A and B are shown apart, each in its own frame.
Chain A
Amino acid sequence: MSDRDFSVLGQSVIRKDALSKVLGEAKFAADYKFEGMLYGGVFRSTVPHALIKHFDASKALALPGVACVLTAKDIPGKNRTGIIIKDEPCLVDDKVRRVGDAIAIVAADTPEQVNEALDLMEVEYELLEPIFTVERALEEDSPKIHGATNVHAKKHLECGDVDAAFAKCDVIVEHTYNTSMLTHMFIEPDAGIARYEDKIMTVYCSTQNPHYDRADVAGVLGLPNNQVRIVQVTTGGGFGGKLDISVQCHIALLSHFTGKPVKMVRSRKESTNVSAKRHPMTMKAKTGATKDGKIQAVEVYMTGDTGAYASYGPAVITRAVVHCMGPYEVPNVRVDAVFTYTNNPMAGAFRGFGVPQVAYCHEGQMNAIAKELNMDPIELRLLNAHKIGTTIATGQVLEESVGFKETLIQAAAKAKEVM
């Protein structure tokens, strides 16, 4: 390929958008302004699990400059959004499921008036037992966050004869791994501006998912998809955290109701409180090998906390299950996974979709086996590494482009230079 004269392939090319960015001219969502625009804000729950006994916005509505305060009953369409399971209310109707659930939205002439109005809203809760752990979520007598069960996804993966394989192993290691909740901390807090003109709702926003946004906005407004337009403007990082709906439905509702453009820019605090997180997971793993170092069997039971809403949880669980043996050949595998709802912050997509979590588990297990067998941990990995022709636990045959061994060999050589 090297003798071909490519204009882009193999060349360092300057990004198309680099010039506008180094000039400071690139417009992010918060940089947009429209004539006669209002500012929006969200009144959010301060408790994790509760019924709303009473909500009063009369003082807020009496403030000069306040155009409207909307609650769930003002929603013309469906009050449920979500990527895979539509389980998140745009505005709380039945109950609060996490700290930060949106209870009401307000539009006013200035950001300061929005803040004043939010200060004046009053809510009375009937507190419900909050669930903060997967263990409690799985107990029979625990309160149910959605419907009749707190389990929102379950997966089972099995191949070979796991029990027979363990019986023949010379070493077996069993460990439990916990990973923590992480936030993406994209540098640009969520923001957007909605404009309703000629029966077309246009939402300019910081997003990674304009087509999903369109369906949710259309659903909430009760409009057909062809009357909703989402414009993804220059977006300041996402890493999966801007796949979920943020301000889009709220500004669209306010704009729909007032007939004016409405802008909403989250503070860092609000963004961090309510954007999706990386699923915290617990992985209980059992790995067996014969004394030559060949991994014979892996058994994993994993749980994940998806928080108040499912978001990408049903996708994350699949990836976690499929990848939890790592890049190693394992002939006998049994994996069970359960993800539950809790009243914690919602977990969703985050670079790797569950794969980084299980990496702690399979790499920890490989180190433990190496130690048990007194083998070099790199050697152990090379011995078991995926290669072209490997059949993985799902039955897929890896037919091409399996670069793990070469990568590991080169990484080990590099590591020796510095260690």
Chain B
Amino acid sequence: MKEFSFFSPGTLDEALTLMNQYKGKASVIAGGTDIVLELNDRSHHPDYIVDISKIKELRYVKVVDGIVRIGALSTFTDLENDPYLRDHVKSLYSACYYVGSPQIRNLGTIGGNVVNASVAGDTPTAFISLDATVVLRSAAGKREMKLTDFYGGPGKTELEKDELLTEIYFEAPTEQMATAYTKLGKRKALVIVVIGLAVLLEKDCNNICSKAQVVIGAVARYPQRLPLIEHYLVGKPVTKETFDGCRDLFSQTVYEMIPTRASVGYKKESVKGVASKTFDSILSDFSLCGVEE
């Protein structure tokens, strides 16, 4: 590990001051589960490290006026243990539940997972299906943008060098909505995602799908909304038949996203099972919360 100077600010203001002062020369460490590897193998060697893990004010999950707000330094474990998310935002809960190992979930932060923009990130897929917004702060001020606008490719985001992602928020799903996330990997635990599929579905009183937000992760360079599938679902009855009817469309969509990739043969078939599992969970949630089918 090459040399660097280390700062561990206790407040957001201090951190933003440091980010402004060492703009472009400082790297941020939160959970550290990605950056420490890069520091250790010397592929990344900033002059300054700003450790934001001690900023307690950025670690929270709260629901205020119908908006779910998550502090960037909340860990996967924090979210997995949050009763509101477990009961009402199953997609995000599942995305956290299946990340890495207990050790990684205790360290890794939501902000880190979003900012890293890894092709294999779990929570960004769930967040995009929830149409989430990120809050970016710098010494100069604050700006917000939809997560869909935040990504530019693997490791690329709109985050400026003096900015910190401080919060991610989205509208709390209503009683007429259900969400789900399915992770396909090579093992049951400690596994990198091969396909991640997150869905938010809303139905009206006649059991007709009135809104669908479907996002696939680990296929393209960053999680993608699937407008063709969403369009197919809206206006149709929320039934197993409807969902079964779009399995081939999923397959075709994945094929068109990565026609030349070696994994396309596997992914275009397996996505059908991933879709079925996700929609089974949605259907089961709707029946559990007592909305008439």
Residue of A with least CB distance to B2: A112
Write the nearest CB–CB distance from B246 to chain A, whole angstroms: 34
Contacts of B1 in A (CB 8 A): 112
Is A115 on the interface with B (CB-CB < 8 A)?
yes
Interface string of B35-58 (1 = CB under 8 A from A): 000000110000000000000000
State the CA gap A413–B42 with chains docked (Å).
55
Contacts of A115 in B (CB 8 A): 42
State the CA gap A112–B42 with chains docked (Å).
10
Contacts of A269 in B (CB 8 A): 41
For chain B, which range describes its interface: under 10, 10 to 19, 20 to 34, or 35 or more residues? under 10
Contacts of A119 in B (CB 8 A): 42
Residue of A with least CB distance to B1: A112
For chain A, which range describes its interface: under 10, 10 to 19, 20 to 34, or 35 or more residues? under 10
Interface string of B236-249 (1 = CB under 8 A from A): 00000000000000
Contacts of B42 in A (CB 8 A): 115, 119
State the CA gap A115–B2 with chains docked (Å).
9
Interface string of A260-282 (1 = CB under 8 A from B): 00000000010000000000000
Residue of A with least CB distance to B42: A115
State the CA gap A115–B1 with chains docked (Å).
9
Contacts of B2 in A (CB 8 A): 112
State the CA gap A119–B41 with chains docked (Å).
12
Write the nearest CB–CB distance from A63 to chain B, whole angstroms: 13
Write the nearest CB–CB distance from A268 to chain B, whole angstroms: 11
State the CA gap A66–B97 with chains docked (Å).
47
Write the nearest CB–CB distance from A397 to chain B, whole angstroms: 45
State the CA gap A119–B2 with chains docked (Å).
12
Q: Which of B1-39 contact A (CB under 8 A)?
A: 1-2
Residue of B with least CB distance to A116: B2
Residue of B with least CB distance to A115: B42
Write the nearest CB–CB distance from A7 to chain B, whole angstroms: 41
Q: Which of A76-112 contact B (CB under 8 A)?
A: 112
Residue of B with least CB distance to A111: B1
Write the nearest CB–CB distance from B83 to chain A, whole angstroms: 37
State the CA gap A406–B139 with chains docked (Å).
76
State the CA gap A160–B168 with chains docked (Å).
76
Write the nearest CB–CB distance from A269 to chain B, whole angstroms: 8
State the CA gap A219–B206 with chains docked (Å).
84
State the CA gap A380–B42 with chains docked (Å).
58
Write the nearest CB–CB distance from A32 to chain B, whole angstroms: 22
**Chain A residues within CB distance 8 Å of chain B:** 112, 115, 119, 269
Nearest 4 pairs between A and B by C-beta?
A: A115-B42, A112-B1, A119-B42, A112-B2
Cross-chain pairs A/B with CB under 8 angstroms, 5 sampled: A112-B1, A112-B2, A115-B42, A119-B42, A269-B41
